[in-house]
Structure 1
Amino acid sequence: MSTTPLPHRRRAWLLGVVVPAAITAAAWAAIAALVPRLPDPVAVHWGLDGVDRTGTVGELIAPMAVIGGLSLVVLGAFAVLTGRQAINRRMVLGLAVALATLFAGMALTTVLVQVDVPTATEAASPDTGMTLTLLAAVALGALAGALAGSDPAQPATGALPAGVPTADLPEGQRAVWVRSVSGIGTTTTWVLALAAGALGIGVWLLTDTVLLVVTLAPVVVLMLTMTTWQVQVDARGLTARGALGWPRHHVPASEVERADVTQVRPFAEFGGWGLRTAVSGTVGIVVRKGEAIAVEQTGGRRLVVTVDDAATGAALLNTFAERTRQEAHSQR
């Protein structure tokens, strides 16, 4: 485990702990002030035809309070204890702010639609408020991720370890290695995405509500970006991009300690598939079981990418990593 201090700790505390706590506290302060103005009993569930179940105030707000509280604790801990790589920080800090906004907004919305109504059955649908909450959560989460901070430059200083695989590439010659990897196939991914979109439009037309459509949209986007990746190795280093060009993760050749081939067991090592983080802090772009490029980086960072022909990609990356060291040495 690296002893190098984690970067951007102030941002981690601010965006991973302070901002989510402030959002949550503001929402629940408003809820506490509004509770006396709610009907008794309150609406606790809405169906297609309006309120279909009533209950106590506790039944209405307790589940979201528990979920929101757990989210604050878990993501707050991840924010301050992890984040050696920018992609991890962006995911954790973005999720911390997004989920705090989502859970606080959902709880507040279900209360606001019932303020001063004579009976619970007369409460308006929370769909509009829920939709705005979802949009706000996505926007604020994306902003937090963007503000999480890039990785500081950490060029390698020593030579590559003896015996690492390298490519037979003549001095001065350039090469590019590009592979696409997909867990379920690119065509299948697009078919499922279109089917989900059609389902969402169908639900909208049948129920006259945009809530499910707005809910499905991020799922479709995530499905597209996480199931298919393009992996490229060139003189700049290794770059992995999702199907829509995002997420994007880049490892500069100057920061590569070594690249090797490894065998990946997604669930055992990363707890699942997609863009993942192992307990050790390793970032995994894992869409299937099998061979992968494992890149050891400066600062105790590590990336694993499942991809075909990993041996060629790893060897070429080592070659460019060695060249950047030679170029840096010649400029001294």
Structure 2
Amino acid sequence: MTTRPPHRARAWLLGVLLPVAITAAAWVVVAALLPRLPDPVALHWGLDGVDRTGSVGELVTSTAVISAISLVIMGTLSVLTGRQALTRRMTLGAATGLATLFAGMTLSTVLVQVDATSAFDAASPDASLTVSLVAAVALGALAGALAGSDPDQPATGDLPADALLADLPEGQRAVWVRSVAGIGQTTTWVLATCAVLLGVGFWLLSDMIFPVVVLAPVVVLMLTMTTWQVQVDARGLSARGALGWPRLHVPATEVERAEVTQVNPFAEFGGWGMRTTVSGTVGVVVRKGEAIAVERSGGRRIVVTVDDAATGAAVLNTYAQRARTTHPTH
């Protein structure tokens, strides 16, 4: 049975109202400062300072349009999705984080030009852009943390008659563990190292730290999202990133059915890593091919790409069946 997504008030607060408030506050400040900007204003900064100028309209129009589009899209996703905690945390965190980032970008390019005699006297917005990015990550993480956990929803009814089951005698236990990597651990570390060297090199050559701040989370994502450990035991299914985070867990008591499926990461999830779809399916997808698909209580669905998915699904179904006996629901 499909249930109503939980924490609807938080979805409206963190996914709609807070982003709108952050954006509105930033634009109130910008509107008050516009008369104090030079004419023309600086539009773009290069290694040697300002390299393009234009009108105030050009300065604020692009960020205004991007902010408005972000508010509409993320606000809609916030109130229409969120059946699973991971989806809810990612959506609400992104809604708040993006609003903060775009507001900070707008403020940064305006503040450095206030009372400047000409556009070419404007200082680089590098420092304020860095602060904006850090604030966006921090507020986004806070919004995600406040999005609310999933309530317990034990599965009801019997497993389907054709569900895969493991040959595991009653009273005995088994643990199924597999590691799965998309591009390989060695390749991941090489790419991460190159990204770090690129950012540091650009910083030393240009004296701009913003690229380093941008590349740092990219490196972390590369290290955590490309290699996973998947485990099935009496507690259910767990998947952990290479650094132990992020972590996905499905209790055996909430498993309606586990089966094998074939996954095309880009076509179905829009990319690789820990992903979520508009329909609410959560995926740990690091490559194309076989995966464990778990139908979870409350109309939720989990997909994890991994080798020997049939064995993992069978062990999970077995523990789900035992959980119904140990913890019967009515």
Interval of TM-score (by shorter of Structure 1 and Structure 2)? over 0.9
> 1:219 corresponds to which residue?
218
> 1:88 corresponds to which residue?
87
Distance in 2 separating the partners of 1:73 and 1:242: 31
> 1:249 corresponds to which residue?
248
> 1:286 corresponds to which residue?
285
Distance in 1 separating the partners of 2:311 and 2:97: 39
> 2:206 corresponds to which residue?
207
Deviations 1:256-292 (A, max 9, x none): 0010001112222222222222343211111111100
* Per-residue deviation, 1:3: 4.0
Distance in 2 separating the partners of 1:92 and 1:125: 32
Q: In structure 1, the residue corresponding to 2:65 is in which secondary structure? A: helix
Distance in 2 separating the partners of 1:148 and 1:32: 32
Stretches of structure 2 lacking an aligned partner (at least 5 in a row): none
What residue identity is the alignment partner of 1:176? V
> 2:319 corresponds to which residue?
320
Distance in 1 separating the partners of 2:158 and 2:226: 36
Q: In structure 1, the residue corresponding to 2:244 is in which secondary structure? A: coil
Identity within the alignment, %: 74
What residue identity is the alignment partner of 1:182? A
Distance in 2 separating the partners of 1:297 and 1:279: 17
> 1:4 corresponds to which residue?
3
Distance in 2 separating the partners of 1:92 and 1:158: 32
5 Å-filtered alignment, 1:169-208, equals: 169-208=168-207
Stretches of structure 1 lacking an aligned partner (at least 5 in a row): none
Distance in 2 separating the partners of 1:136 and 1:264: 36
Matched, 1:148 2:147: yes
| TM-score between the two structures when normalised by the length of structure 1 | 0.97
Counterpart contact for 2:81–2:278, Cα < 8 Å: no
Distance in 1 separating the partners of 2:18 and 2:85: 19
5 Å-filtered alignment, 1:60-209, equals: 60-209=59-208
What residue identity is the alignment partner of 1:137? A
* Per-residue deviation, 1:65: 0.7
Q: In structure 2, the residue corresponding to 1:312 is in which secondary structure? A: helix
Q: In structure 2, the residue corresponding to 1:299 is in which secondary structure? A: coil
Distance in 1 separating the partners of 2:71 and 2:174: 46
The count of corresponding residues between Structure 1 and Structure 2 is: 330
* Per-residue deviation, 1:325: 1.0
Distance in 1 separating the partners of 2:44 and 2:266: 36
Matched, 1:309 2:299: no
Q: In structure 2, the residue corresponding to 1:272 is in which secondary structure? A: coil
Deviations 1:55-98 (A, max 9, x none): 00011111111111101100000000001000000110010011
Counterpart contact for 2:290–2:305, Cα < 8 Å: yes
Q: Please, what is the CA RMSD of the aligned residues?
A: 1.3
What residue identity is the alignment partner of 1:101? T
Q: In structure 2, the residue corresponding to 1:295 is in which secondary structure? A: strand
Distance in 1 separating the partners of 2:327 and 2:80: 34
Q: In structure 1, the residue corresponding to 2:327 is in which secondary structure? A: helix
* Per-residue deviation, 1:160: 1.0
